[in-house]
Amino acid sequence: MNMPTSPHVLLLVPPLTIIILIMFLQIQTTTSSLSSPKQKPFILPLKIQTLPHGAVSLPTPSSHKISFHHNVTLTVSLTLGSPPQNVTMVLDTGSELSWLHCKKLPNLTSIFNPLLSKTYTPIPCTSPVCMTRTRDFPVPVSCDPKKLCHATISYADASYIEGNLATETFFADGSAQPGTIFGCMDSGFSSNTNEDSKTTGLMGMNRGSLSFVTQMGLPKFSYCISGKDSTGVLLFGEANFNWLGPLKYTPLVKMTTPLPYFDRVAYTVQLEGIRVGNKLLQLPKSILAPDHTGAGQTMVDSGTQFTFLLGPVYTALREEFLSQTKGLLTLLNDTNFVFQGAMDLCYRVSGSGSNSGRVGLPPLPAVTLMFEGAEMSVSGERLLYRVVDDVATRKWNNDLVYCFTFGNSDLLGIEAYVIGHYHQMNVWMEFDLVNSRVGFADTRCELASQRLGI
């Protein structure tokens, strides 16, 4: 999912779900040997890509969300076409339709060229895929002058990208998936020029019928996000590793009735409570569940960097964390500084004597997110994020600035709880589509990558 942030930087792309407004269609997709139960799982490296400061913004899966700027993405590399072309795609569990840049634009260096592929097939506007009207496309698909299916994807920051829907053969781990539907985008306006220049496109991974994992017909996928300088892993298929340990599972929440603020193809789980240290926050159960409009769902999103909570819950967490860290950390005390537009609990930490800018933080109380049947504990360095901002550093006499890695959804106009990838770091995340559940287990992702040969 991608969401809005302030000019102060960083959300894992598609941040709070980059609002990619996409089609929700019931389509019979082609299955290949990849969906065979005898097919071995296959693995791709998952990389954290850091972009220039204040670089990008992307979409999110609902029109009521706002845009944001970020400079971190999770990317995977694979090939498609005949002969195969290499592409790099942003991994986004909050988006559905995958798309690629198919025309060289200013500042764009990474593209897919459909003219060089024998298996590229544009979808005609008479196709059921093109003729179906859905609420997720703000601008309905239409016919271009060549009678091909033309689609426009709008972003929350008023940027957009457009092109033709098409099918192509995607390759992963030596296996082919022909007839995969994607967007071959050749024009548009984007403020994400730095990101666009380094990635070819976006891999939509939610539960919608057009998502990459749905079209591949796979029962589950997993990923493990390493630290900034390490390679993680994206695994399609079963993950039976004796070194991984048991996963804790929480069921996916399903909503059969269409509601204006509920994304029915997101990976939605039920948040039941939050602990700070050993203290349980006193929160009414009703505020943690979707209301009659669908607002208040909890989404697991690789396209958002940090975690965002609805206003009253964020305020309760903020006050309790402040109380338990009093005397351990020095508050920034600058009401004009709000990191990424939604994170207003920041601290000054002395960086003297450290040429690398790395300092030792005091022991901090863990924040535990409690779900139905499982818990996720956020501790240590994942609780605070260092703001890399030269202006801020000069303003506070070269002290380092760290911000609490939970933000206020209300400040972003987001009617949801969103669990971003920063809090999924060094956690094996499994998305089980057959059993409708999400599983996770603490691990060291760089070691997992090494064990899997990456």
Q: What percent of the chain has pLDDT over 90?
A: 42
Residue with tokens 């996000």: 225
Would you say residue 77 has pLDDT above 50? Answer: yes
CATH 3.30.365.10 holds for 33-236: no
pLDDT digits (tens, 9 = 90+) for 302-323: 988 899 999 999 999 999 999 9
DSSP β-bridge partners for residue 56: 70
Which pairs from 246-249 meet CB under 8 Å and 24+ separation? Answer: 246/441, 247/428, 247/430, 247/439, 247/440, 247/441, 248/373, 248/374, 248/375, 248/439, 248/440, 248/441, 249/373, 249/374, 249/432, 249/435, 249/437, 249/438, 249/439
Tokens of 69: 């700027």
Whole-number CA gyration radius for the chain? 21
What contacts 444, CB < 8 A, 6 or more positions away? 426
pLDDT digits (tens, 9 = 90+) for 84-137: 999 988 888 988 889 999 987 777 778 999 999 999 999 998 888 887 654 445
The stretch 6-20 carries a mean pLDDT of 30
How would you classify the pairing of strands 220-224 and 427-432? antiparallel
- Least confidently predicted of 51-60, 265-274, 322-331, 364-373: 51-60
Domain boundaries, the chain: 33-236, 248-451
- Residues 232-259 pLDDT 10s: 889 988 877 888 888 999 999 988 888 9
d(CA 392, CA 331): 14
Strands (E), 245-329: 248-251, 268-269, 271-276, 279-280, 297-300, 307-309
Q: Which two tokens stand for residue 163?
A: 């092109």
Backbone angles phi, psi at 423, to 5 degrees: -85, -5
Distance CA(33)–CA(38), nearest Å, equals 9
Q: Tell me whether the omega of the peptide bond preceding residue 128 falls within 30 degrees of 0, making it cis.
A: no
Residue 174 CB neighbour total at 10 angstroms: 7
Residue 88, CA distances (Å) to 76, 341, 348, 385 in order:
6, 29, 37, 27
Residues sharing a CB contact under 8 Å with residue 79, sequence separation 6 or more, in sequence order: 85, 86, 87, 170, 171
pLDDT at 54 over 50: no
pLDDT of 275 above 60: yes
C-beta atoms surrounding 128 within 10 Å: 11
The matching CATH number, chosen from 2.40.70.10, 1.20.1300.10, 3.40.50.1370, 1.10.357.10, for 248-451 is 2.40.70.10
The partner residues of 306 in beta bridges, in order of sequence, read none
Q: Is residue 21 within 8 Å of 134, Cβ to Cβ?
A: no
Name which residue leads in pLDDT, 38 or 406.
406
Report if pTM > 0.75.
yes
Average confidence (pLDDT) over 315-344 = 91
Q: Hey, which residues does 416 pair with through a beta bridge?
A: 297
Please say whether the beta carbons of 12 and 303 come within 8 A: yes
Give me the active site residues, please: 92, 301
Q: What is the mean pLDDT of the chain?
A: 79
